Amino acid sequence: VLSGCGVYDGTEIHEASAILVHLSRGGAEVQMYAPDVPQMHVIDHSKGQPAEAESRNVLVESARIARGKIASLAKLTTTDHDAVIFPGGFGAAKNLSTFAVDGKDCKVNKEVERVLKDFHKAGKPIGLCCISPVLAAKVLSGAEVTVGHEEEEGGKWPYAGTAGAIKELGGKHCVKEAVLSLTLSYEAHVDTKNKVVTTPAFMCETELHHIFDGIGAMVKNVLKLTGK
C-alpha cells in the first residue's frame, strides 16, 4: 500500500523498492494499491519546502513507483491476498493518516483503517516499516511494533520521539537495534499474536544496505506467517 511518491510527502521510494525486491525473491505475486485522495501537500524535495499552489493525487503519484500497475485502495480485499505491507515515508503520516499534524490524536484514512482491521480479523500478516507502524498502533490496540530506539542518541535515531507516540496511541513499542554487531543483520519485530511485522528502516541514520536487509527480514517474516 503506497502513499505517494517521495519521502517527504509520499512513499519512501527506497523502502518500496526494497520491499518489491524481497517479495520477488520470496516468490510472491504483488499487487499495489493507494488511496485515491489528494496529498496533504506537495514538497519540493530539492529544497525540503512545500511547493505553494500545487496539489497532487496520492494514487496518481504512487503509480510512478508501481510503473502504472496500481489500483485504488478501495479495491483491496483480504480474499484476494495473503498479506499486506506498508512502506514508510512521510506519506504514511500525512496521506494515510494525520499523524504528522495530530500525533496521538490522529485519524487514519478510512480505507487504510478498513484494510488493517480486515487483515487482522482474517488472521493474515501485516508488514510495516519506518513511520508506518503508527498506523497499526492507532488501529490495532495493543499491537507490538518497532520504530527502532526510544532515544535520539546523538542523531542516530532522529525520529525516536515516535516511540513515545506509539505508546500514547495504545501500541506497545519494542526497541530494536539498527545492526546487530555479531550478525550484521537489521532487526525486525514480529508480533506473533497480531501477526504484525515491523522494522525501523529510515528511522535510523545508517547505511542503505542495512535498511535493505532489515526490510528483507520484515518481508521474510511476513511471508513465513502466511504459511505458504
In a 3-state reduction of DSSP, which class is residue 202? helix
Instruction: Kindly state the percentage of the chain with pLDDT values over 90.
Output: 87
For the chain, count helices (H), then strands (E).
8, 10
Reported pTM? 0.95
Confidence of residue 185 (pLDDT cuts 50, 70, 90): very low
Closest CA to 108 of 145, 136, 141, 75: 136
**Catalytic residue, candidates 129, 130, 174, 204:** 130
Query: pLDDT by residue (tens digit) across 68-108?
Result: 999 999 999 999 999 999 999 999 999 999 999 999 999 99
Distance, in Å, from the CA atom of 72 to the CA atom of 58, rounded to the nearest integer, reads 10
Please report the pLDDT score of residue 176 as a whole number.
81
Please report the pLDDT score of residue 184 as a whole number.
40
Residues facing residue 70 across a β-bridge: 32
Q: How far apart are the first and last CA of the chain?
A: 21
Structural domains in the chain, sorted by start: 13-226 (3.40.50.880)
Indicate the average pLDDT of the chain.
Answer: 94
Q: Is 204 an active-site residue?
A: no
Query: pLDDT by residue (tens digit) across 195-227?
Result: 999 999 999 998 999 899 999 999 999 999 999
Q: Which residues of 204-216 are buried (b: 16+ CB within 10 A; e: fewer)?
A: bebeeebbbbbbb
Query: pLDDT by residue (tens digit) across 100-136?
Result: 999 999 999 999 999 999 999 999 999 999 999 999 9
Query: pLDDT by residue (tens digit) across 37-64?
Result: 999 999 999 999 999 889 999 999 999 9
